[in-house]
Structure 1
Amino acid sequence: MLTILGAALTGVIIISCGMGYIKIPAPDIIKIISASLRGIPFNGNAVFQAVIMDIRLPRILTAALVGGGLAVAGVVFQAVLLNPLADPYTLGVSSGAAFGASLALILSLTMPTAFSVPLFAFAGALAAMTAVLYLAENGGTSANTLILSGVIVAAILSAGIGFIKYLADEQVSIIIFWLMGSFASRTWHDVELTLTVVVATSLIILFYGRDLNIMALGSRSAASLGVNTARNRKILIVTASLLTAVCVSVSGIIGFIGLIIPHLMRMVAGPDNRRLLPASFLAGALLLLGADTISRAVLPSEVPIGILTSLIGGPFFCYIFRRRQLGR
């Protein structure tokens, strides 16, 4: 399964590199990337090389990493909270990260934006997750309680983001477009930041894969098997919040990737988180990269990627919610 997903992702990356206003043949794409990896000069079309290495490939890799990161975060939230409707978007974590990042943009901090935006996004994501868990504390972690808490927190944060946009003046168009989700103008710095955090947090989460399986049995059963549920829960929530924050800081709000992918991959890879996590990462990368390629190269004009994922994820969320309500 992982081999198939990995091969499919590689194929989509190559296809996506060739699509756009300037069509580039696959053999040239492979030669350009191969030459870059080996550190040797490319003797072919210099325009093709500039388009791929300076424009398309940073965007493509960022989209793949963000898609994989959001899918992994979705697996964690669903496993830790024992709730199939939990994901960074429905829990308000993405909105918290967006609020923090927007605040960093409007404050024009002395700290470089490349560092201040992710840091503020992480603080916002963690604060939002804490608020949701606090509101849902008396009601446990049932689907209705968590989702309602997420809606409340997201509504408050939405008002805060609206106020920031009101104060933004000339920056308002940048913030609005960014909030709708976009990978336009991504650079190799964005790739480096996303790659570092996504890989590091995903490895930490994968390390806890066995504990996630045991925690799914319930707190008492997990305790009897020697798993410290309270400690692991905090570690995993903070790690998943950091993962979400970095993804949001480079892409804006992209909804439902963390909801759709874990459900689909459980049908294929099974419930074992040690297999589910890497499968979800690859599938999330594949889905978001495919959606971004359609937005960038297929549609007449570029549509913010958050709109496309919401069009896909909204009906899927309704289906999962309704099926749970009916007890099926």
Structure 2
Amino acid sequence: MSSIPFESGDTILTTRDDFVSNQIAFLSLRKRFGVRIVHAPNTPEGGVDVPAMAGLMRTLRPRLVSATHVPTNSGLVTPVAEIGRHCRELDLLYVVDACQSVGQYPLDVEEIGCDLLTATCRKFLRGPRGSGFLYVSDRVLRAGYEPLFIDMHGARWTAPDSYRPVETAARFEEWEFPYATVLGSAAATRYARDVGLEAIAHRAPALAARLRSRLEAVPGVRLLDRGPQLAALVTFAVEGGRRPQPFKEALDARSINSALSYREFAQFDFGDKGVDWCLRLSPHYYNTEDEVDHVADAVAELLRQKP
């Protein structure tokens, strides 16, 4: 974000389902530079209204367009390639957050049409925590974008009063480099490619669909995932005054890995759905149908107990 020379009055166009850290960064830019943040509307079935977003692109000519492929707060899959086509037609800078989709779906940056794509490796790619990557298009490099605090890895000190950024995306890297986590991420990437991204993209969402079907029949469970395409993230709220941390701890005690999401993670989405917290379950390709059923049975058992 620091590589984009924002000025007062510039517009950032994003969605109501963009990732919380991105939203905080945009608000920080608004506070510091006076940029305008515009959120494209959602469709009634869930997910961004792409034609409406394209209309905003044409009228506002935003300095940056941002979208999260699979937001952390729901199983929604954002049509990032459709958004990208409009960005390319209008020559707009486009960044995609793929943290929850890398390792879950095949990603083709040419098909998506993005200028920048970010991802962490610790989620569906199953790499080490603290690792991630940034894709930078040749178009961005040719345009001269560079991070604000570029260092000796990303640039050469060519004279006492000048420097020259390196020609590759290495200009966005830093000298202090976590080689151990990079090697771990490379191993995780090879593992996923050996399994096959197409097979993973079929298996993981199918397990999630099975889990949603089972949870939908559990009294006291309210499924929150909405949209024309859903990923292998299953989010649900529970009724009856349950407190989030004890509920998660009860699942932990049953060797069920889950995550909590709070209103502060998704102010728009959770506000629209009227929830303050939800539980997120993320089945992956190595899980079995029996394990999925076990999770649904465990949730049902906990909800039969007194809070």
* TM-score bin (small chain): under 0.3
Structure of greater relative contact order (alpha carbons < 8 Å, 6+ residues apart) = 1
TM-score between the two structures when normalised by the length of structure 2: 0.24
TM-score between the two structures when normalised by the length of structure 1: 0.23
Q: Normalized per residue, which structure has more helix?
A: 1
Q: Normalized per residue, which structure has more strand?
A: 2
Q: Which has the higher Rg, Structure 1 or Structure 2?
A: 2
